[in-house]
Structure 1
Amino acid sequence: MKVLLVDDHPLILSALQGVIRGLGDDVTVVGVASAAGLRQQLVTDAEFDLVLLDLQLGDANGFDVLSELRSAHPALPVVVVSASDRASDVIQAIDLGAMGFVPKRASNDMLFEALRLVMSGGIFVPPMSLGMDAGASAPTPPQDAHAEADTVPDVMRIGETAEAAPFQRHAPSFASLGLTPRQADVLAQLLQGKPNKLIAREMNLSVETVKDHVAAVLRALNVSSRTQAVLAVSQMTQGQLPSFQAWKPNRRG
C-alpha cells in the first residue's frame, strides 16, 4: 500500500509516517508539507492508494484541497486527519467526498481501524463527533421522494457531545435493511459521492428510477440526506469486516 501524507507540521508529519509504516512491511509512505507539494507529488507519481490530508495547511484551505482531490482524482480515497473533531468539520469533509475523518488526538488503534476500513471499501467517522444537540429529534425521511438532498437539515444540527444520534445508537444491521440488490448497488454508488445522473449512466437506468432507489435507501436507513446516509453506514461498518461491499446481496439472474 502506498500512502501520501499531507501535513504542514514537521513533527506531526514525521509521527504519522512512523505510525502508518506500522501497518505492515508492504506500506510505503510519502510525506509533503503543503497543497502545492501534494499537487506536484501527484503529477510526478499518481500511483497512490490513499491520501491522508490535514485540513490546516499553510498555503490552502483543506476543504478546498479535498474538493480538488475528489474532482481530479475521484478514485483515490482521502482520509482527513485533523486537529479538529468538530461535528461540522466531520460532516463537511464527508459531504465533500472524504472516506474517513480521524482526529489527531485519536489513538493509533483508531487510526489503524480507520485506514483498514477505508481500504476495504468502508467509511470511517469518529463516534465522539456524532452527538446531537439537546432536544434535537431523530431525522425523518424526505417528504419529496424525488428530492436530492445533499445538505444536512436543521434536524441534524450536531453538537459537540459524545452521545450518538438515534439512528446511530440503534443502527440496524445491513441484512435487516431489506434493500434489493439494485438499491444496494445505488447505496454503494452514493457512498462514492456520485450524483444521480452519473449513477443512472453507470447502472443503465433512468434518472427518475435512480431517484426512486435513493429515496428507498434513505427511508431504509431512516435518514433524510446523502450525508446522513454516509454517516449512518460508517457507524454500521465500524469494527465489521468484511465491509459493506461484501454485504451487498447477490444479484438475481
Structure 2
Amino acid sequence: MKVLLVDDHPLILSALQSIITSLGDNVSVVTASSAREVRQAVVPGHHLDLVLLDLQLGEDNGFELLAELRTTYPALPVVVISASDRTSDVIRVVDMGAMGFVPKRASNDTLIDALRQVLSGGVYVPAMTMGSDRFFVSSTHASSYQPAQQLRHSAIQGGYQTQPSLAQLGLTPRQSDVLKLLLKGQPNKLIARELGLSVETVKDHVAAVLRALGVNSRTQAVIAVSQMLQRQGPSLSVFHAMAA
C-alpha cells in the first residue's frame, strides 16, 4: 500500500510517517509539502492508495487542493489531518468528498483506527461532530418517522444504543451499492455509470438511502454512517456492516 502524506512541517511529517508505516510491512509513504509536490506525486503511473492531507500548507490552500484531487482523481481516497477540529471544517471537507477528518490532537491509535476504517471502505469523522439529533431529523408526526428514526426511538426508550446499525436499516442490495459509492463522494452520474443505471434511478436510490438513515443530505449520511461504523467497531468495514 502506498500513501501520500502532505504536510509542510518536517517534524509532523516524520511523526506521521512513523505512525502510518506501523499499519504493516507492505506500507510505503511518499511525502509532499506543497501543492506542486502533490501534483507531481499523483501523476498517472505513480500508483497511490491513499492521501493524507493537511489543510494548512503555507501559501497553498488545502481546501482548494482537496477539490482539485477529488475532481482529477475521484477514485483516490483523501483523508484530511488538520490542527483544526471545527465542526464547520469537518462538514466542509466531507461535503467536498474527503473520506475522513482526523484532528492532529488525536491519539496514534485513533489515527490508525481511522485509516483502517477508510481503507476498509468506510468513512471517519471525529466523535465531537457526532451524537447530535441534528443528523436525525425527527418528524412532528409519529407516522412520518423514517426507519432509522423508528429504530433509534425504540433503542432510546429501551435504554440501549442511540442509533441503529447499518444492517438494521433494511437497505436493498442495490441501495447498499449506491450507499458505498455515495460514501466515496461520487456524484449521481458516476454512480449511474458504475452500476449501469439511469441517473433518475440513482436519484431514487439515494433518496431511499437518505430516508433510511433519517437524514436529508449526503454529508449528513456520511457522518451518520461514520458514527455507526465507529460504534460497531473500527475494524468493521461498511461492506461487512451492511451484510451483518
Measured against the shorter chain, the TM-score band is 0.7 to 0.9
Secondary structure of the 1:102 match is: strand
* 1:127 equivalenced with 2:119 (yes/no): no
Residues 184-223 of structure 1: pairs in structure 2 closer than 5 A? 184-223=176-215
Secondary structure of the 2:43 match is: helix
* 1:225 equivalenced with 2:223 (yes/no): no
CA RMSD of aligned residues (A): 2.2
CA deviations on 1:60-98 (whole Å, 9 max, x unpaired) are 111110111111111211110000010110011111111
Separation in 2 of the partners of 1:216 and 1:131?
Answer: 22
Separation in 1 of the partners of 2:116 and 2:169?
Answer: 24
Structure 1 residue runs of 5 or longer lacking an equivalent are 142-168
Separation in 2 of the partners of 1:68 and 1:38?
Answer: 11
Contact 2:130 2:227 in 1 (8 A): no
Contact 2:135 2:215 in 1 (8 A): no
Which residue pairs with 1:166 in the alignment?
none
Which residue pairs with 2:117 in the alignment?
117
CA deviations on 1:181-232 (whole Å, 9 max, x unpaired) are 1111111121121222222232222322222211111111010100000000
* 1:241 equivalenced with 2:228 (yes/no): no
Which residue pairs with 1:175 in the alignment?
167
TM-score using structure 1 length: 0.81
TM-aligned CA deviation for residue 130 of structure 1: 3.3
Distance 1:199 1:43, change over 3 A: closer
Letter in 1 for 2:47: E
TM-aligned CA deviation for residue 249 of structure 1: 4.6
* 1:56 equivalenced with 2:56 (yes/no): yes
Contact 1:19 1:108 in 2 (8 A): yes
Structure with more of its chain in helix, by fraction: 2
Which residue pairs with 2:137 in the alignment?
139
Separation in 2 of the partners of 1:34 and 1:137?
Answer: 35
Say how many residue pairs are matched: 221
Letter in 1 for 2:11: L
Contact 1:185 1:248 in 2 (8 A): no
TM-aligned CA deviation for residue 48 of structure 1: 1.4
Secondary structure of the 1:89 match is: helix
Contact 1:87 1:130 in 2 (8 A): no
Secondary structure of the 1:201 match is: helix
Secondary structure of the 2:29 match is: strand
Contact 1:35 1:59 in 2 (8 A): no
Separation in 2 of the partners of 1:22 and 1:125?
Answer: 21
Secondary structure of the 2:11 match is: helix
Which residue pairs with 1:78 in the alignment?
78
Contact 2:135 2:224 in 1 (8 A): no
Structure 2 residue runs of 5 or longer lacking an equivalent are 140-160
